[in-house]
Amino acid sequence: MSLGLRLKQERERLGLSQTALASACGVGKTTQINYEKDVRSPDAHYLLAAREAGIDTHWVLFGESAPFDGFSVEGRQPSSYGAEAEPSRAYSHLAKIPLYDVEGAAGAGRTLESEEVVGHFTLDADTTQQLGIHGVRLVGVRVRGDSMIPTLADGDWVVINLDDVNVAQAGVFLIWVSGELRIKRLQRVAGGAVLLISDNKVYEREMIAPDQMHEFAVLGRVMLRLGEIS
């Protein structure tokens, strides 16, 4: 069963029309239809809103009921959607990932502790193990601006491994620079300097010199992108 069909079944289980669910999730009816026909894939913002509306987003995404230990999960007993869902299976616990929209970096600090959590996204343990991110500290951050296009677009959500700040292995990182939180590709160069690279070639590379390191910190490596496929 496809993601779109599971989404349709969840909507119908709640007795919601396509228009009603689309409105609750901040999209148009056409977008909702495209999601249910698997023409487009729902993004993290939509899924968060759908979860608030009562949609079992874990089942929509993975085709299985959320794990439980004899009690209901968030006030619900496991649903039965047919053999594919296998609701009686003992699933491993979910990783609950806090989501931050750090535009403006309200705390302007070297951690996310002072920033507001705007929601949560969940991944089951099997998925995190397959992705090589099981047991690490994960957060989600919304991308702002076009400097990382085509890799990351404005409005995308990215999952960040806070336990990986090893710039020696080049990659894309969440960084703190002079009070601002940014997402850039990093590359260490001779002499201890670090290059900040935008994938959008319109933007020039920036260099953090060794004597500027007090204004620079690496918070974590970007591991996953959650966004629309155009």
CATH number at residue 15: 1.10.260.40
pLDDT of residue 64: 64
In a domain, 70, yes or no: no
CATH at residue 135: 2.10.109.10
Domain boundary among 42, 64, 86: 64
Q: pTM value?
A: 0.57
CB neighbour list of residue 19: distance below 8 Å, 6 or more residues apart: 29, 32
3: buried, middle or exposed (CB in 10 Å: 19+, 13-18, 0-12)? middle
CA distance 106 to 108: 6
Number of folded domains that form the chain: 2
In a domain, 88, yes or no: no
Contact, 44 vs 226, CB < 8 A? yes
Q: What is the block-wise mean pLDDT of the chain (230 residues), using blocks of 10 residues?
A: 88 87 91 92 87 84 55 32 34 67 53 75 75 80 89 88 87 88 90 91 92 89 78
Domain that holds residue 177: 95-226
Strand order in the sheet with 206-208: 117-124, 94-100, 138-142, 157-161, 216-226, 171-177, 180-188, 194-197, 206-208
Contact, 101 vs 48, CB < 8 A? no
Claim to verify: residue 156 and residue 57 sit in the same structural domain: no
Claim to verify: residue 119 and residue 158 sit in the same structural domain: yes
